[in-house]
A = this chain, B = another copy of it.
Amino acid sequence: MSSHDTTQTKILDAAEFLFAERGFAETSLRTITGRAKVNLASVNYHFGSKKSLIQAVFDRFLQDFTQQLSVRLEQLEQEPANELKAETLLAALIDPLLSLNTKRPNAVSIFMRLLGRAYAETQGHLRRYVTERYGHVLVRFTLLFQKGYPELTNDQIFWRLHYMLGSLIFTLAGSDALRQISEADFNRSLEVKDVIEEMVPFLAAGMKA
């Protein structure tokens, strides 16, 4: 049996869609297994618990994403400081992100909505899990910005990175709905790629303020 249409993959596919659509608490295991067309008990059999299933959904995205991001960061870490401009650094973040869409349709939007929800879970286990497991790439990313913008203090960098993350996650998480509004109002079609490219000059200008 190929790695698609295994029970585990069917569960993950259904779960990530529904979690992004409705949220974690609002999505029951019965809804997930119903959509995945598998037995209810198979979630606990294969993943142990709902909590672990949520983490598994994130792992599948983050392993893929951080691996690609890490390659880009290695290249950039050997560049001189004057090459580390916001546009370049953002590209290192955005390219791996967009490549998710080549494997599964709408993956970027789903991933961003999941991140938004994980971020909202201020006190929950999920935020801790994600930062503990994938926080080191964010640190490397921060260091590159510090190197590229020595005229900014470290906490200016810290905060501006969060401004950028906010714009990215917020916009892309709602991009499906927003794209529909925009397309209706302004009568042109937009892809996720277009939305992001429109955003880069905005963020880069802010970084240079």
What residues make up the interface of A, taking CB atoms closer than 8 Å to B? 21-23, 25-26, 113, 116-117, 119-124, 153-156, 158-160, 162-171, 173-174, 176-178, 181-182, 185-186, 188, 195, 198-199, 201-209
Q: How far apart sit A84 and B83, CA to CA, in the bound complex (Å)?
A: 35
Report whether B209 and A205 are in contact in the complex, using a CB–CB cutoff of 8 Å. yes
B119, B162, B185: the one contacting A155 at CB < 8 Å is B185
Q: How far apart sit A153 and B199, CA to CA, in the bound complex (Å)?
A: 14
Report whether B21 and A123 are in contact in the complex, using a CB–CB cutoff of 8 Å. yes
Q: Which residue of B lies closest to A203 (CB)?
A: B206
Could you say which residues of chain B place their CB within 8 Å of the CB of A203? 163, 206
Select the residue from A113, A176, A205, A206 with max chain B CB neighbours within 10 A: A206
Q: How far apart sit A174 and B158, CA to CA, in the bound complex (Å)?
A: 13
Could you say which residues of chain B place their CB within 8 Å of the CB of A21? 122-123
Report whether B185 and A162 are in contact in the complex, using a CB–CB cutoff of 8 Å. no
Q: Which residue of B lies closest to A172 (CB)?
A: B166
Q: Which residue of B lies closest to A208 (CB)?
A: B205
Could you say which residues of chain B place their CB within 8 Å of the CB of A209? 201-202, 204-206
Q: A21-B122, A182-B155 are in contact. Are A169 and B170 (CB under 8 A)?
A: yes
Report whether B166 and A168 are in contact in the complex, using a CB–CB cutoff of 8 Å. yes
B120, B153, B168: the one contacting A120 at CB < 8 Å is B120
Q: A120-B113, A202-B206 are in contact. Are A171 and B166 (CB under 8 A)?
A: yes
Q: How far apart sit A203 and B186, CA to CA, in the bound complex (Å)?
A: 24
Report whether A162 and B154 are in contact in the complex, using a CB–CB cutoff of 8 Å. no
Could you say which residues of chain B place their CB within 8 Å of the CB of A170? 119, 162-163, 165-167, 169-170
Report whether B159 and A185 are in contact in the complex, using a CB–CB cutoff of 8 Å. no
Report whether A23 and B171 are in contact in the complex, using a CB–CB cutoff of 8 Å. no
